[in-house]
């Protein structure tokens, strides 16, 4: 049997940074192959090269379906049968399901007319082949995310894909939806279509994959049979570290309560949420994407208002009209999307850092004092050991980890009582993550209360005094890491026996 795809000597350099270094990669027909690695290890770059979006550095060799290619364009890749399901699905929300599925059948053909009945037939056929059903006339924007995922899969099958790449396909799915997706994957492999899974949910990866290729820092670590791998071994290959972390042991619930939330609800976002955070305590919230974690955080930060229930800060009932009130009451929120919401990428490091405390740098007449600005910036850069050239450089010149530190520093400068960290390690590499969590633990030991939101179960498990599992807008259960196993928590979130 010849491989569907065989790549050798793939390198990719982005302006001096080597994102991929001499990668070899092959996939057999009908195989489920997993591409595993930490954020930033080069997985997405590799997919973009295989699908023709990026051109690799010279010297690369592609053999697709037994044919050699020197270069590959997106159109060529599609013709050969490479299908990619992007993490954001790349669907067209205003258009109908049928058109979304069949769009590739009428793209690129000049002046050809569209027969809407044909489109529906094409879509219907693919749906039947996969054993899924949709209202083909519905607008895609009206559908839940799990259905969008299936639509994206249907779409690549219209163009007769022989190999399908799925980028984090299960990140926002519930257990039964994931199960359905995996059934679909099995249907595909039974038809000899190869599936390459990119996922960081390792348990599920090992469950379905035949082989695993592990990447780390742009290099290939190796290819392994999934049956020989265990969770621990795979983690070690991916991170290069034998992680033997300890959980946070202390019980701090006896400290005075800083935040208390009683039965708050907001339609369509979260329901009947009650919990408290004590002084110096780190409380983790985890759950699938779309569980309502960020929506809850936004309400605590005064950006939205709960429709029912009550929030208490230091024992006093608060009703924030805006986040300005929340900030002045001592709540700080490091938002989930650092790139577009958290930091102003084109602005300098110092301007980003003081953006929350401009009022503290003002001297007479409402002018900014450069001396005060320098003092504040200098203090926090040192405190969080941010590695930088000059504080007047643009924030975008920093690495992910250091950017996140500036984002945290910007909020610490407001001297908060409660710090909400939403997905603080997205786009931060493994070594730097430890640095961020060290800061979190230091801050907590100095008495700051922290709400840590993350979909990486291990992050909240190893860094929180208590963990809340959230799903469908509700808190399902509280876990104390010192008294439970991480797999208990993982099973609760992802479900057992996928």
Partner 1 sequence: MEKIFKTHPIEAWLLIIIIATSAVLSMLSVQYFTLVNAFDLLNSISINVIFAVGLLVVLISGGIDISFAVAASVIQYVAFYVLSYLGGGNWFIGIIVAGGLGVILGAINAGLIHYFRIISIVVTIATFNIFFGLLMFLTKGVYLYDLPDWWANRVIIFEHEMANGTWAELTLPAVIMFGAISATWFLITYTSIGRQIYAFGDNPEGARRIGINVVAVQFIAYGWMGMMAGIGGLMQAHFMQEIVPNALIGRELDVLAAVVLGGATLGGGRGTVMGCVLGVLLMAIIQNGLNLLGVTPFAFKAIVGVIILLAITLSNVSFVELRAYLRMKRGQ
For partner 1, the binding residues (CB under 8 A) are 53, 74-75, 78, 84, 86, 88-95, 99, 103-104, 106-114, 116, 137, 267
CA 111, chain centre distance (Å) = 40
Q: Indicate the DSSP class of residue 240.
A: S
Indicate the pairing of strand 32-36 with strand 194-198. Answer: parallel
Q: Residue 166 burial (CB < 10 Å; 0-12/13-18/19+)?
A: buried
In whole angstroms, the minimum distance from the beta carbon of 230 to partner 1 comes to 36
Handedness of CA 448, 479, 238, 149 (dihedral sign): negative
Query: Facing residues of 83 across strands?
Result: 164
Question: In the chain, what is the straight-line distance between the N-terminal and C-terminal CA atoms, in Å?
Answer: 30
- Measured from the CB atom, the residue of 76 and 124 that comes closer to partner 1 is 76
To partner 1, the closest distance from the beta carbon of 107 in angstroms equals: 6
135 or 488, CB closer to partner 1?
A: 135
How far apart are CB 95 and partner 1 at their closest, in Å? 6
Residue number with CB closer to partner 1 (114 or 324): 114
CA distance 35 to 41: 10
Of the pair 96, 454, the CB lying nearest partner 1 is at 96
CB of 269 to partner 1, least distance (A): 14
Q: Which residues, listed in sequence order, are joined to residue 197 by a DSSP beta bridge?
A: 34, 166
Q: How far apart are CA 273 and CA 264, in angstroms?
A: 5
Token pair, residue 27, equals 């996939």
Q: Which is nearer to partner 1, 89 or 466 (CB)?
A: 89
CB of 210 to partner 1, least distance (A): 28
Nearer to partner 1, 96 or 465 (CB): 96
Residue number with CB closer to partner 1 (88 or 478): 88
| 112/319 with CB nearer partner 1 | 112
Query: Are residues 336 and 422 in contact, defined by beta-carbon separation less than 8 angstroms?
Result: yes
Phi, psi (deg, nearest 5) at residue 451? -110, 115
Task: Give the three-class secondary structure for 299.
Answer: helix
Encode burial over 427-448: b for 16+ CB neighbours within 10 A, e otherwise.
bbbbebbebbbebbeebbeeeb
Q: Does residue 5 contact residue 50 with C-beta atoms inside 8 Å?
A: yes
Q: What angle, 0 to 180 degrees and rounded to 10, lies between the N-to-C axes of helices 370-383 and 400-412?
A: 120
Any idea of the CA torsion for 459, 463, 467, 469, to the nearest 10 degrees?
A: -10
CB of 299 to partner 1, least distance (A): 17
The minimum distance between CB 94 and partner 1, in angstroms, equals 4
Closer by beta carbon to partner 1, 104 or else 207: 104
Q: Which is nearer to partner 1, 157 or 202 (CB)?
A: 157
Q: How far is the CB of 414 from partner 1 (least distance, A)?
A: 33
What CA–CA distance (Å, rounded) separates 350 from 373? 8
C-alpha–C-alpha distance, residues 24 and 471, integer Å: 40
């Amino acid at each position: 049997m010849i491989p569907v795809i065989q790549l050798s000597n793939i390198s990719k350099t982005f302006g001096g940074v080597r994102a991929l270094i001499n990668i070899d990669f092959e996939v057999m027909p009908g195989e489920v192959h997993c591409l595993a690695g930490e954020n930033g290890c080069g997985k997405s770059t590799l997919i973009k090269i295989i699908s023709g979006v990026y051109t690799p550095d010279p010297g690369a060799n592609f053999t697709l379906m037994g044919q050699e290619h020197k270069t590959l364009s997106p159109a060529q890749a599609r013709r050969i049968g490479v299908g990619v399901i992007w993490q954001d699905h790349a669907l067209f929300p205003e258009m109908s399901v049928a058109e979304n599925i069949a769009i590739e059948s009428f793209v690129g053909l000049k002046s050809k007319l569209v027969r809407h009945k044909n489109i529906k037939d094409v879509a219907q056929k693919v749906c039947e082949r996969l054993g899924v059903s949709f209202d083909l006339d519905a607008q895609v924007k009206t559908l839940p995310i799990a259905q969008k995922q299936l639509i994206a899969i249907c779409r690549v099958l219209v163009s007769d894909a022989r190999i399908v790449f799925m980028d984090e396909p299960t990140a926002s799915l519930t257990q039964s939806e994931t199960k359905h997706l995996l059934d679909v994957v099995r249907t595909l492999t039974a038809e000899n279509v190869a599936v390459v899974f990119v996922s960081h949910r390792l348990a599920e990866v090992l469950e379905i994959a035949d082989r695993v290729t592990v990447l780390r820092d742009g290099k290939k670590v190796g290819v392994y049979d999934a049956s020989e791998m265990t969770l621990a071994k795979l983690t070690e290959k991916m991170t290069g570290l034998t992680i033997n972390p300890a959980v946070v042991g202390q019980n701090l619930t006896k400290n005075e309560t800083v935040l208390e939330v009683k039965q708050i609800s907001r339609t369509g976002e979260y329901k009947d949420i009650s919990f408290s955070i004590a002084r110096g305590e780190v409380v983790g919230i985890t759950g699938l994407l779309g569980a309502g974690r960020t929506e809850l955080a936004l309400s605590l930060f005064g950006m939205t208002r709960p429709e029912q229930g009550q929030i208490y800060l230091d024992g006093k009932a608060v009703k924030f009209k805006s986040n300005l009130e929340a900030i002045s009451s001592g709540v700080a929120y490091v938002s989930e999307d650092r790139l577009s919401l958290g930091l102003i990428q084109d602005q300098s490091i110092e301007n980003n850092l003081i953006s929350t405390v401009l009022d503290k740098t003002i001297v007479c007449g409402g002018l900014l004092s450069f001396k005060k600005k320098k003092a504040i910036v200098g203090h926090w850069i040192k405190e969080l050991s941010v590695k930088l050239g000059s504080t007047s450089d643009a924030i975008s010149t920093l690495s992910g980890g250091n950017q996140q530190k500036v984002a945290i520093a910007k909020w610490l400068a407001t001297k908060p009582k409660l710090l909400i960290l939403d997905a603080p390690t997205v786009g931060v590499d493994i070594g730097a993550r430890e640095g961020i969590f060290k800061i979190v633990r230091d801050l907590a030991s100095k008495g700051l209360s922290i709400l840590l939101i993350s979909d990486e179960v291990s992050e909240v498990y190893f860094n929180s005094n208590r963990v809340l599992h959230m799903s469908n807008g509700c808190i399902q259960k509280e876990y104390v890491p010192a008294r439970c196993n991480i797999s208990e928590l993982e099973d609760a979130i992802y479900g057992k026996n996928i």
